[in-house]
Amino acid sequence: MTIANALTLLRLCLIPLIVVMIHSGRFGIATVIFIIAGLTDALDGYLARKLNQQTEIGAYLDALADKSLIAASFIALVFVQLVPFWLVVLVIFRDLMIVGTVAIAWLMNNPIPIEPLRVSKANTAAQIVAVATTLGARGFSVPLPEPVFLGIYAIVAALTVISVAAYFSRWFAHMAE
């Protein structure tokens, strides 16, 4: 097992801890664990490239870990009423659309390479900021005004919609080949 894949698996293992901490109201601990998980996301890709350990399974695991971390965190936060339901639906819909297009391409014997787009990386970063800010403000009693949260959520929503459009454009171009 590569170091990068081990970090990705660590990120997957941290997800249930984050959810439990959110549901038990331990938002400070959830924040710290979430930030550690987010850092493993940055580190695993860097190490895979730096150590020449990029693997196909690593790319799939990384995507799974990213989507699972974000989805589980947003779902847990909506259950404790800290993020708007519409945002969670939008984020999860995007991920399901991406997974669905990859699956359709594979079923049509025309697999699409797993390569995140720049807008997708920006979207993931914005989602991480949204979750970390929401958790951190609650966990460390930082009184952020409501417009700060609304602004962050608006950025996440915009990047989510733009990334869906970009992935669909890429998917249609790939399927037309």
Predicted confidence at residue 160, as pLDDT, reads 96
**pLDDT per residue over 41-94, tens digit each?**
889 889 888 988 888 788 888 888 989 999 999 999 999 999 999 999 999 999
What is the extent of the structural domain holding 103?
Answer: 3-176
**pLDDT per residue over 92-137, tens digit each?**
999 999 888 888 888 988 888 777 789 998 998 999 999 999 999 9
Total number of residues shown for the chain: 177
146 pLDDT exceeds 80? Answer: yes
Number of domains in the chain: 1
Provide the CATH number for the domain around residue 157: 1.20.120.1760
DSSP 139-166: HTT----HHHHHHHHHHHHHHHHHHHHH
**pLDDT per residue over 163-177, tens digit each?**
999 988 988 888 888
Q: How far is CA 62 from CA 10, 33, 68, in A?
A: 11, 18, 10
Q: How many angstroms separate the CA atoms of 56 and 8, rounded?
A: 13
17 pLDDT exceeds 90? Answer: yes
